[in-house]
Amino acid sequence: MKIENPFKNKVIKLTFTQSLQLYRDCLRLIRHIAPGNSPKGMALRTMVKSDFGKNSAVKDEAQIEVLKAGAIRALSNYMLYESGAKDKKLGTAMKKFNEDERAGMRNKDDKTVPKK
């Protein structure tokens, strides 16, 4: 005897609603970032539409959550980047962090042994 999950359809509907809301939020943010039909706005809209379209066939709830988290992270990173451009203190901190990260990567790539 197979027991059906009575909440399955509600979970799928809720996930679809959340995904649709995230898609709309992305498009609204693009309208705010690049109003009108600027090349930047068109490129961002194309990217968002293709990414959401590419993943529209995903049915696994866990995979959908991973994709949504990635989209939210990308939006957050962009907003932080834009804030850094406007806030001098934040921009300086971000620049220092990136320079430290690059220096750390160069040290990893450097195969030479330091001289004593």
pLDDT tens column, 37-76:
888 888 888 888 888 888 888 888 888 888 888 888 887 7
pLDDT of 79 reads 77
**23 CB-near residues (< 8 Å, 6+ apart):** 48, 52
Quick check: 37 and 22 in contact, CB under 8 A?
A: no
Cβ atoms within 10 Å of 52's Cβ, excluding its own: 17
Quick check: 67 and 79 in contact, CB under 8 A?
A: no
pTM: predicted TM-score of the whole model, two decimal places: 0.54
Provide the mean pLDDT of the chain. 77
Token couple for 33? 């970032």
Alpha helices in 34-112 (DSSP H): 39-54, 61-86, 88-109
- More confidently predicted of 110 and 79: 79
